Structures are given as structure tokens and as C-alpha cells.
Amino acid sequence: MGGITPPDQIETRLFINGEFVNASDGKTFELISSKDNTVLVHVQEASEEDTNRAVAAAKAAQPAWEELTVQERGAYFKKLAALIREHDREFAQLEALSMGLPVSGYFHAAAAAKIFDHYSEAGYTIQGTSSLATPGFVNLTFRQPYGVVAAIIPWNVPVLFFAKKLAPALITGNTVVLKSSEKAPLTSAKLAVLIKQAGFPPGVINVLSGHGHISGSILSYHTDVRALSFTGSTRTGRLIQEASSKSNLKAISLELGGKSPAIVFEDADLEAAVTSTAHGIQSNSGQVCMANSRIYVQDTIADRFIDLFKTKFSEIAKMGDPTSSETRHGPLVDKAQFDKVLEYIEMGKRDGNMILGPDSVSADKGYFIQPTIFTSTSEDSQIMKEEVFGPVVNINVFHSEKDVLAKANDTEYGLYASVFTKDISRAMRFAKGFQAGTVGINCSSPVTGADTPFGGYKGSGVGREGMPYHSLDFFLETKSVIIKVAG
């Protein structure tokens, strides 16, 4: 049951109103394997009609779902979590095939199961307030679901985002339409299979595959969708915000891109800083929103740091077939990402000094790019400002604390920032001074707190997600109820 799915049995259909269906207009799109460029499967592409049908199904299912007790809703989550755990290796395999994430160290399904387990018990934490502060009145607030909500997710960590968005949306009594990424739709379709097995009532969860245009855009403009939680690029985030303002002002949560700095001082544990930052940029071949793509190292330790980093970065990145348990460094997700990263590498060569990286690369045998390091890159170079989303890091040297904080913050992004130092006062000055939604002290991305919110300053997003209450909060309206008490 938990084995590897043969290619002809991979689920590629849409999941609408509890049924698996083909696209209404018969359209499909090719999913290309990132490891060898072959066509993996043809996936059903949700049409406008399919997207509208999914929203209508969610709307019809919502009142009964909201009427269930929180234990009844939570019971479905527990069944789903158990099924996800059972199929862990299948999720790993599907992700490796479609987007190149190595099966070694795959943890997304296990983490998703934990999220469903957590929220299965979270129903009673949804509480309003009461106040007797106004004489002659009892004032209350109710927290209520929006009704139909949508989730649009990216390809780089699909199963985790599926759970992070759906679990809080559903436990609060909303019903959901989720659109997966066209670059990694298979694990969301697999989750739909398990959702059916877990017995969720039809229409409560609908899962669509397709591109931004048509299904993503239709969801963003849909007037029956009252809240939309999005994770993806800043460019698409802007379009979704615009769609909300041009349609029904649906509530939006935007988790967007990053260009995260890591600062290493001379008093830091050098080896630990190297290990942490090398992992931060190598994990998922650098295709991580919070990856520490800019490292600033103090002049007095720069040579030692860079030497050690170069060794560590090449060692941890054992490049190869992502379905092999030996591989630590898989290919990039697709040709578009591959070409984009190569363009940035060319910019890096122009504006900095490449000390590790490819001389020439070809996509003939998969979209592999080896770990790449630039030093001494000019601060105003495009590669220092824009998100590369690949295994490419810029290491620059700094001389003064004030100067380096200004450089770290000189970006339109603000998702994650880290500082390595043993000086607690300095660490606190940076924690306060970084313009970033998450700060790591003596640790770096992808380390986050299970019980702290996640989200971006500036162009990295709007709103916060996470446990214990930020995600629940997003999926709930607040109503004030004013009761006049006769004297």
C-alpha cells in the first residue's frame, strides 16, 4: 500500500466534489521529469468551468461542514494524517520524479501529517472575547469561518504547504479549493486520493491542477472565494492582491520570495556557521524561499570561512538521480528555472568572482546545476538584489557592524536573516535591526520555530502563517455582538 506508484497509476485527475474527473475541455499538460527531461505524465488542466464547479461544490458543502463538531472535523484529519504517514515513501518518490527533490532526507509528508494531527485538536482554541467594560452592555466577539477559501501553492515544498493551508482553513469550518503548482502537481493529487479514502464529505476539499492562467487567476478573482492563502513568487503575489482588490476584496495572505542575508562575525563558531549556511543554500538545491543566498563574513575570518565553506558546500552536495538514496543534490525543477539560474550565474561571473561553479552546463541530461559560490560581488549587481532560487551563494566581506546591517537590509525582500556571533548584545542589536520576518541567531534557514509565526517584511509578503494561532486567525472573520442589558 505504501510502495512506489507505477507511472501508469499516478493520479493526474482533478478532484472536485469528492470525485476524480478529467478536465471539462479535455486539456492536459505535460509534466517533464527534471532528472532526465522525459515526459513523466500528462496532467489534467483545470478549465474555467472546472474551477467554477470546484468553488460551487465547496460552497454547497460548507454549511454542513461548519455544523460539525470540532471533534468530528478533527477525526477526518487524524485519518488523513495516518494515511499520509503510510504513503510517506510514495510522496518522496513523486516529488523526486517531478521536481527533483532527493528522496534522501525527504520529510515533507511526515511534517504534513504532524500538522493535520496538531490541527485536529485545535478546534476549541478558536475563541472570541467577552467584555463588561461598557455599563449596561455585554459585548462579545465571535470568530466565524469565511465560507469558501482558496489556497494556491508553489512547487518547492508542496505537501507541506498543502497541509499548512488546508488544516487551519478546514478546522475553522471553511471549505477549500486548492490549486497545486503546474510544476509539482502529483503529490497534491495523491493527497486528494487519501482525502477520499479518509472519507471527507464531498466538496469540503477540492484539488485542482493547472497553471496560474486559467485556474489560479479564476480563483483569485472569484467572488464566492472569501479568503485566499497564497505561497509563491512576489510577482504572482502582486497579481493576486490586484485580483482581490478588483473582485470582492477577499482576504489574502501572501508568503512570497526572499533574498536572505547571513552575517558571520569573527567571534562565531566558524565550523557551525559554515555548516549551517552551506546547508541553508544547498537544501532543495537552493530552491527555498528563505535560503541564505547572501553571506557577509567579517574581514578578519573571511579567508578561513570561505575556504571551509567551499569544501563543505561541495561535499554536502552529492549531485545525481533524486530517486537514489545516495543523492543529496537533485536537479532544478525545470528548464525555465535552469535557464534562469544560468543567467544569474553569468551575471555573477560579470560582477563578482566565481570560486566554485560550472564552467559550462547542458540540460541534455536533466536540469542539474552544481553548487556555485561568488565572492566580492558588487552590492548593486542584480544577483545581489534578486531571488536566484538555485544553489548559488554570494559571499562578501564586511568591516563594520553598522555597514553590514545596512547592506543586509538593502533589499526589497525581508523573509529571513541570520547572524552568527557569541556576543549576546550584538545578536540582539541584529535581531532588532534586521528587516525580516524571521531572524536566526547562530542558526540559519531553513530552521524555523514550530510555534512562531512565519512571513515576510516588505516584498516578502503580507500576513503571518503558523502555529499556534496565526493561520487559524487568518481563516476566521471577527464579528462584534453588542448586547444591551435592561437595567
Site residues (vs ligand NAD, CB under 6 A): 152-157, 179, 181-182, 211-213, 216-217, 220, 231-233, 236, 239-240, 255-258, 289, 387, 389, 415, 456, 461
- Toward ligand NAD, which CB reaches closer, 88 or 255? 255
Q: In this structure, are residues 446 and 281 in contact, taking their beta carbons and an 8 Å threshold?
A: no
| Least Å from the CB of residue 190 to ligand NAD | 16
480, β-bridge pairs = 141
CA distance 99 to 34: 6
Three-state secondary structure readout of 316-369 = HCCECCCCCCCCCECCCCCHHHHHHHHHHHHHHHHHCEEEECCCCCCCCCCCCC
Q: Which is nearer to ligand NAD, 74 or 437 (CB)?
A: 437
Pick between residue 236 and residue 471 the one whose CB is nearest to ligand NAD: 236
Residue whose entry in the numeric block shows the C-alpha cell 566558524: 270
DSSP string, 204-230: SEEEE---IIIIIHHHHH-TT--EEEE
- Whether residue 435 contacts residue 413, with contact meaning beta carbons closer than 8 Å, is answered with no
The cell numbers describing 255, all together, are 508568503
255 is catalytic: yes
Name the closest residue to ligand NAD (Cβ).
212
Closer by beta carbon to ligand NAD, 289 or else 342:
289
Cβ at position 355, least distance to ligand NAD in Å: 25
Closer of 85 and 340 to ligand NAD (Cβ): 340
Beta bridge partners of 145: 476
DSSP bridge pairs for 251: 227
The torsion angles phi and psi of 148, rounded to 5 degrees, stand at -95, 130
Q: Pick the closer one to ligand NAD by CB: 268 or 392.
A: 392
Q: Please give the Cα distance from 224 to 147 (Å, whole number).
A: 8
CB of 94 to ligand NAD, least distance (A): 16
Smallest separation, CB 325 to ligand NAD (Å): 25
> One of 90, 95, 182, 255 is an active-site residue; which one?
255
As a whole number of angstroms, the distance between CA 458 and CA 263 comes to 20
- Shortest distance, CB of residue 192 to ligand NAD, whole angstroms? 15
Burial class (CB in 10 A: 0-12, 13-18, 19+), 37: middle
- In the complex, the smallest distance separating the C-beta of residue 121 from ligand NAD, rounded to whole angstroms, is 24
Q: Which residues are catalytic?
A: 255
